[in-house]
Chain A
């Protein structure tokens, strides 16, 4: 061992070029809201309400299952108060004496000072989102550690290794990665107790994951293919097996045609897909396309066997800079679910829906920005129609910005007697204390008028306040003054 240490000391490269980037993001919030609480009452204690239906003596409409000795209803629940503090640290280090070698980590600590866990994601208190070492040269990139791959199959988190080999001259690259997988949408393994509410059949082992990607990039377009399989080591059966394809063609300046699809090999059906024709010029940009969405469920749950049906949508959007200071935008989407083919059609729900938005952004003076929009969406389960507006003052030379925003919204539900009109008022401020320190302060008021003819029209209105501080620091003079799109 001593000999090894001596050799390391003798032949170690100098660390003169070592550099790092560290970004600390701390956010404290306060929130208080009222939920609902399930309650019951004996059938014999109910009274006839104004509409003739059964109610509690204090006016709550109740639902009495046939043959049951009691009726059920929802009372206003206790006000849930939370004071979460969430801090995220991003760090990159390089210059270990080997050109191309670097290390990256992103970690998050979260705590709810009220101890109520009213805020999601505060359990466990410390989470490691990524932590890996990377070696990258012109033809090869290799990583080892906790990684988060982003591709059309989603955000794939895993603990393991990946390697990418590329031929830049011909625009080719091939990647292979594998390890122990993480749960979808969170940096926790599926065995984590924090995921327990999701299902009763939580796996006892982490899934083994193996993925591959290959792509070609050229002047006129790109194509890419991906494959991912996850296997439960306890049963040797699949958790998921999917593949995806995507491509973009750039036939002329400003024009692009993108398309992609994924196929669930385990379920034997096509998942989500899309095709979009886009055009971008200095004053006008727009896109028109079709897309299809089908949710994906891992096979350690039973949900995939319930045959979720996809919807197909036609969508378009356009943005026009009518004047140098004014930009108008519009977008819309119409979608329709495939036939659910249910054998008990006692309840019909909406099968199609649409979404639309009209908006305008104006900057009459360099420091002022006004934005206004009108959104409307209607579809299965819920709908909303509303307007929103904001005004922002951000002097170009000033280290601060202030934004006032407000919105009004009507949001009826389809499956529950609930329609509420919501007014929202908020203020956001930002102050750049220095190039490496930013402070933010915000508050928003949700004022809700729930339209329901009984006391179950609870008041969901609430205040939310946010204080945030971002610290960015680093070394390495050659990387000074870099824009955000660089290693941090």
Chain B
């Protein structure tokens, strides 16, 4: 059976427009009388406009202006009528099977009904929910759909699988892509689409199996993985430390440096508005590791010094006036908040008392101090207090 009537090869189902097929049903008993190209090699898919003037001459019927399309319709289907008929042989459907809905008359012609394709090919799901292996049955890879514009690509519907919470994770699209990137993924995507996120490090192998097509960025991938969730900025440290390669799949150094860099230019960003005012409470018992981003000497000390919060070698100035005898009993506070101490004090302040050479020989070493190891690892540091006579 010869297939006729496939007027449009497109993804989008559109009702037949322009030519009113039902109105002409008595005139054309055969589809191929107008659309000879679907059955005969070398013939045009479209009727000759001159044939319309047989009736539409301005006398019998009003004249019509119609020209057959000069360029192929925008499509990503791999279908062509002759090839499909040759391959399907005696299973090849009639024109009406594909171009009408079930129960409609032969000339209620419309764009190809996708469900008919699915039915014949044994795909028992909705169109975009079809199994990954099914896409290539009807569609060419995006890179070969040359007639598709960026606008067409942007309108491609997303399969329901893409809405799964973990789809953006390694176990989601990552696992799928390793199996079907060349068939299913390639239908809608090309390398450039993947590079929208996978730009931070060498791309996963699956991406290299795709073709290159700049149009693929018409589909914009911007969503963050669901695993990030809320407050991820506050708790990403552990994940980032253990899964650096996962992070670098999507992120580049500039993303990290937005917060993690010693920049005096940063205002509200990593820290909330007004953090300056409450930073003492956060810094005394480090809510986070301040020194990862802020050098104590350049950042803390210089600012405190400008504000007058600097020891200047005068330990008995009484700045810590809420505790009598603080100088004599500061040990616990110092061991708990040494990073805070050194944001105002320099080593010379402490060596006034805590030195075996020239000081008062107060032993600063506390719990966990391994003198032998320290001597072995950094003898020079020991000599600061002990001179050459390191015990």
**What separation, in Å, do the CA atoms of A347 and B385 have in the docked complex?**
25
Contacts of A479 in B (CB 8 A): 192, 195, 199
Contact partners of A332 in chain B: CB under 8 A: none
The residue that A74 contacts in the complex, of B294, B319, B323, with Cβ under 8 A, is: B319
CA of A319 to CA of B246, assembled, Å: 24
B69 CB-CB contact with A under 8 Å: no
Interface residue A324 (Cβ < 8 Å from any Cβ of B): no
Asked whether B149 is an interface residue with its Cβ less than 8 Å from the other chain, the reply is no
Q: Closest Cβ of chain A: how far from B248's Cβ, in Å?
A: 9
Is B50 in contact with chain A by the CB < 8 A criterion? no
- Partner of A246 from B242, B260, B284 at Cβ < 8 Å: B242
The answer to whether A27 and B265 have CB atoms under 8 Å apart is: yes
Q: Is the C-beta of A52 less than 8 angstroms from some C-beta in chain B?
A: no
CB pair A486 B195 closer than 8 Å: yes
**Residue A110 at the chain B interface, CB threshold 8 Å:** yes
Question: When chains A and B are docked, how far (Å) is the Cα of A262 from the Cα of B187?
Answer: 46
Stretch at the interface among A1-9, A41-49, A377-385, A431-439: A377-385
Within residues 61 to 111 of chain B, which ones have a CB less than 8 A from any CB in chain A?
Answer: none
State whether A266 touches B308 (Cβ < 8 A): no
From B217, B226, B286, contact of A282 by CB (8 A)? B226
Instruction: Give complex CA distance A88, B256 in Å.
Output: 15
Question: Which residue on chain B has the smallest CB distance to residue A376?
Answer: B281
Q: Please indicate the chain B residues that have their CB under 8 angstroms from the CB of A355 in the complex.
A: 287
A386 at the B interface (CB under 8 A):
yes
CB distance from A36 to the nearest CB of B (A): 4
Residues of A within 8 A of B282 (CB): 377
Instruction: Please state if B231 and A382 are interface contacts (CB–CB under 8 Å).
Output: no
Task: List the A residue with the shortest CB-CB distance to B247.
Answer: A150
Assuming the contacts A258-B239, A417-B321, asked whether A382 and B284 have C-beta atoms less than 8 A apart, the reply is yes
- The residues in A between 20 and 54 inclusive whose CB is less than 8 angstroms from any CB of B are 23, 25, 27, 29, 33, 35-38
Docked-complex contact B202 and A299, CB < 8 angstroms: no
B175 lies within 8 A of A219 (CB): yes
B165 interfacial by beta-carbon distance below 8 Å: yes
Q: Which of A250, A384, A422, A488 contacts B281 (CB 8 A)?
A: A384
Q: B180 contacts the other chain (Cβ, under 8 Å)? A: no
Q: B165, B298, B322: which contacts A186 (Cβ < 8 A)?
A: B298
Mask, A351-390, CB within 8 Å of B = 1, is 1010100000000000000000001011111111010101
Q: What residues of B have a CB within 8 angstroms of the CB of A84 in the complex? A: 264
Contacts of B280 in A (CB 8 A): 381-382, 384, 411, 413
Q: Which residues of A contact B389 (CB under 8 A)?
A: none
A477 to B347: give the CA distance in the assembly, Å: 55
Contact with B along A133-171 (1 / 0, CB 8 A): 000111111000000101110110000000000101101
* Chain B residues with CB under 8 A of A219: 170-171, 175
User: Taking the complex as formed, is B114 at the interface, i.e. its CB lies under 8 A from any CB of chain A?
Assistant: no
List the one stretch of B14-22, B28-36, B138-146, B299-307 in contact with chain A: B299-307
**Given that A348-B332, A381-B340 are contacting pairs, would A199 and B254 also be in contact in the complex, using a CB cutoff of 8 Å?**
no
**B298 and A246 contacting across the interface, CB-CB below 8 Å:** no
A382 to B221, CA, bound (A): 45
Number of interface residues of A (CB under 8 A): 187
Q: Which of B4-12, B127-135, B310-318 contacts A (4 or more CB under 8 A)?
A: B310-318
A55 within 8 Å of B (CB atoms): no
Chain B window 339-370, contacts with chain A (Cβ cutoff 8 Å), 1 for yes, 0 for no: 11010001110110010000000011111111
Residues in chain B near residue A27, CB distance under 8 A:
265, 267
Does A98 sit at the interface, judged by CB under 8 A?
A: no
B24 within 8 A of A: no
Please tell me if the beta carbons of A148 and B253 are within 8 angstroms of each other in the complex: yes
* Contact between A446 and B277, CB atoms less than 8 A apart: yes
Shortest C-beta distance, A135 to chain B (Å), equals 10
- In the assembled complex, the CB of A430 is this many whole angstroms from the nearest CB of chain B, namely 12
Give A348 Cβ to nearest chain B Cβ, in Å: 7
Q: Is B59 an interface residue (CB 8 A)?
A: no
Q: A191 contacts the other chain (Cβ, under 8 Å)? A: no
The interface on chain B, measured as residues whose beta carbon lies within 8 A of the other chain's beta carbons, has a size of 140
Does A237 contact B378, Cβ atoms closer than 8 Å? yes
Q: Which residues of B contact A331 (CB under 8 A)?
A: 231, 234
Contacts of A301 in B (CB 8 A): 342, 347, 381
Cβ of B271 under 8 Å from chain A: no
B119 interface hit (Cβ, 8 Å): no
* Residue B240 interfacial (CB < 8 Å): yes
The reply to whether B378 and A238 form a contact with Cβ atoms under 8 Å apart is yes
Cβ-defined contact, B285 with A185, below 8 A: no
Say whether B350 contacts A416, CB under 8 Å: no
> With A and B bound together, what is the CA distance between A224 and B243 in angstroms?
7
Asked, given contacts A72-B314, A339-B367, A483-B197, whether A442 binds B267 with beta carbons under 8 Å apart, the answer is yes
Q: Quick one: closest A residue to B326, CB to CB?
A: A347
A194-B298, A482-B196, A485-B252 are contacts. A201–B347 as well, Cβ < 8 Å?
A: yes
Q: Is the CB of A411 within 8 A of B281?
A: yes
A285 to B297, CA, bound (A): 38
Contact A121 B264 (CB under 8 A): yes
CB distance from B241 to the nearest CB of A (A): 3
Q: Please name all residues of chain B whose beta carbon is closer than 8 Å to the beta carbon of A287 when the two chains form the complex.
A: 235
A86 CA / B260 CA spacing, docked (Å): 16
- Whether B202 and A136, one on each chain, are in contact in the complex, defined by CB atoms closer than 8 angstroms, is yes
The reply to whether A302 and B381 contact each other, CB–CB distance below 8 Å, is: yes
Residue contact B257 to A148, C-beta cutoff 8 Å: yes
The 0/1 profile, CB within 8 Å of A marked 1, for residues 366-384 of chain B is 1111100110011111101
Report Cα–Cα, A65/B365, bound state, in Å: 27
- B262 in complex: contacting residue of A100, A121, A377, CB < 8 Å: A121
> With a CB–CB cut-off of 8 A, which chain A residues contact B245?
166, 171, 173, 215, 217, 222
Docked pose: A276 CA to B221 CA in angstroms: 29
Q: How far is the CA of A486 from the CA of B255 in the complex (A)?
A: 8
Residues in A whose Cβ lies below 8 Å from that of B291: 154, 184-185, 295-296
* B377 and A237 contacting across the interface, CB-CB below 8 Å: yes
Q: Which residues of A contact B300 (CB under 8 A)?
A: 120
Do the beta carbons of B297 and A195 come within 8 Å of each other? Answer: yes
Given contacts A119-B264, A253-B165, contact A36 B217 (CB under 8 A): no
Q: Is the CB of B299 within 8 A of A306?
A: no
Q: Find B329's partner among A184, A344, A388, A411 (CB 8 Å cutoff).
A: A344
**Distance between B141 CB and nearest chain A CB, rounded to angstroms:** 17
Contact residue among B278, B301, B348, B374 (Cβ-Cβ distance under 8 Å from A386): B278
Q: Is the CB of B267 within 8 A of A415?
A: no
Task: Give the docked Cα–Cα distance between A2 and B331 (Å).
Answer: 70
Chain A 95-131 near chain B by CB (<8 Å), digits 1 or 0: 0000010001010101000000111111000000110
Question: Is the Cβ of A305 less than 8 Å from the Cβ of B229?
Answer: no
Contacting pair A409 B278 (CB below 8 A)? yes
Which residues in A have their C-beta under 8 angstroms from that of B333? 347, 349, 380-381, 415
**Which positions in B face A, CB cutoff 8 Å?**
165-166, 170-171, 175, 192, 195-197, 199-205, 208, 212, 214, 217, 220-222, 226-231, 234-235, 237-246, 250-257, 260-265, 267-268, 272-274, 276-278, 280-287, 289, 291-303, 305-309, 312, 314, 316-323, 325-326, 328-340, 342, 346-348, 350-351, 354, 363-370, 373-374, 377-382, 384-385
By Cβ-Cβ distance, the 3 closest A-B pairs, closest first, are A198-B297, A346-B329, A63-B318
Instruction: Taking A303-B347, A307-B366, A409-B278 as given, write out 8 further A-B residue pairs in contact, using a Cβ cutoff of 8 Å, ordered by the A residue number.
Output: A110-B264, A121-B299, A151-B241, A200-B347, A309-B336, A329-B230, A329-B231, A424-B274
Would you list 16 pairs from A and B whose C-beta atoms are within 8 A, ordered by A residue? A23-B254, A38-B314, A168-B205, A169-B205, A293-B289, A299-B374, A307-B335, A329-B230, A340-B335, A343-B331, A351-B336, A381-B333, A411-B280, A416-B319, A478-B217, A487-B200
